[in-house]
Homo-oligomer: A and B are copies of this chain.
Amino acid sequence: MNRVFIEELPSLYKQKIKISGWIYRYRPLAKTAFIILKDCSGTVQCVADPKIINDHNLKLDDVVELIGSSRAEPRSKQGFEFDIEEVRVLNRSAHNLPFNSNVDLSDIGQDIILTHRPLSLRNEKINGIFQIQAEIVQSFRDFLRSRKFTEIITSKIVSGGTEGGTNLFELKYFERSAYLAQSPQFYKEYGVAGFERVFETGHVYRAEPHATSRHLTEYYSLDLEMGFIESVEEIIQLERELLTFIFGRLNEKYFSIFENFQMPKLPNMMQVPIWSFETCLEKLKNKFNRNDLIDDLDPEAERQLCKLAEEETGVASVFVLGFPLSARPFYTQPGSEKNCSASFDLLFRGQEITTGGKRLHTRESLEDALKARQISPALFEDHLQMFTLGMPPHGGLAIGLERLTALILGLQNLREATMYPRDRNRIVP
């Protein structure tokens, strides 16, 4: 007898079938036993004569097969119930679990949630976080594929950093050392020379010594790079459209998850404004009396700017364009204003979720940029020669998946949006 999903029950009334799943709720009364069975398609109330059930000593989170039949039941939430004829236990959950999957886990510590990952993933709310995350990453790919982007897969074992040598994880690689990639930046630029438009979804690594709620040593980066652009604004416009597409899909398919987290629908991002870095400093000075910022924003400034954007546009999001060139990596294209760069951050709900920009695309300009930073171009020779092979003007961006997931659902700690978070203190499970 093949197992059917719970969601299929309404089309199978009165037929003898098998359903499988977890005991999500269990109420053994004297005359009738009630079980809520949960599988990946939904839940159903099941009823049984206690005689059929009692010997099995069922408990929450046990894994069972139930044989029986379904029927319409207007009084139940789903509109149907399942009459159990036979129970088979497939696996037992342990006694004395620290929690069951059906409870509110807000007060359970992150450590217990992680060391019981199979159980916590079954919890509706936590399960929802990773459903949202899976949909974000897939929507990112779907949107870009529809815009002629090709997915690339690039190595995470590299000989050095893209942005200098700090915070790199060192790897023993046979007789020498290698490092874990901090970004696919160089590789996606090379990809532009072959495919024009490329994206990659994959892990990146930072040997981040701080273990705060905002830092992970391993995170998942949604990267794209696009050739033949004339200005950084084209990348900004692409991101408006990309996020509007992703958010639209999430609103459509996962609104019930937002409700579980008491979060509103996601906004249309098409009107998110661009504020120059200078304008941002002025606004921060005028509205929040911030006189301490010079060449970068801090977390407080990011929150303040989103607040201003929300007041002005209704959406707590703003592109900050034109960071000081000195605060950006060497390959950044200079902007139109003196000492400015053609690069931006996207702030959303108080945090930076994207860094992007136009890149230098000629060998000469890259050499000059390195020299201006007192770095010898010879150190980057392997990389620089790649720009003599027909490299178009290009730009791109990167979105941190965990941070975006956390902001969408209002999670305070990035670790909640990471299935197996890694920080200075944690490498298990």
Contacts and interface: CB of A to CB of B under 8 A. Distances in A.
Interface of A: 3, 5, 20-22, 39-41, 61-63, 90-94, 97, 101, 115-122, 126-127, 130-131, 133-134, 137-138, 141, 145, 148, 150-159, 169-174, 178, 180, 186-187, 189-197, 202-203, 205, 207, 209, 217-218, 220, 228, 361-362, 382-383, 385-393, 401, 419-422, 424, 427-429
- Which applies to chain A's interface (DSSP): helix, strand, loop or mixed? mixed
A155 B420 contact: yes
A10 B7 CA distance: 48
A134 B205 CA distance: 23
Contacts of A93: 388-390
Contacts of A155: 218, 419-422, 427
A393 to B, nearest CB: 6
B130 A389 contact: no
A127 B362 CA distance: 23
Contacts of A152: 130, 134, 419
A23 B408 CA distance: 45
Given A150-B131, A202-B202, A202-B203, A90 B392 contact: yes
A241 B208 CA distance: 43
A344 to B, nearest CB: 21
27 contacts: A40-B148, A40-B196, A61-B389, A90-B228, A91-B390, A91-B391, A92-B362, A93-B388, A118-B190, A119-B193, A121-B191, A121-B193, A127-B195, A130-B152, A133-B153, A134-B152, A153-B401, A155-B218, A155-B421, A156-B156, A157-B217, A158-B427, A159-B427, A159-B428, A172-B172, A187-B419, A203-B203
A153 B180 CA distance: 17
Contacts of A218: 155-157
Contact of A172 (B116, B127, B169): B169
Contact of A138 (B145, B171, B220): B145
A89 to B, nearest CB: 11
B390 A427 contact: no
Contacts of A130: 150, 152, 194-195
Nearest to A196: B40
Quick one: copies of this chain in the complex? 2
B428 A195 contact: no
A67 B11 CA distance: 61
Contacts of A382: 115, 428-429
Nearest to A153: B220
B121 A392 contact: no
Contacts of A186: 429
A234 to B, nearest CB: 10
A203 B391 contact: no
Nearest to A1: B230
Given A152-B134, A170-B171, A220-B153, A390 B159 contact: no
A171 B174 contact: no
Nearest to A115: B382
A150 B126 CA distance: 14
Contacts of A63: 390-393
A194 B361 contact: no
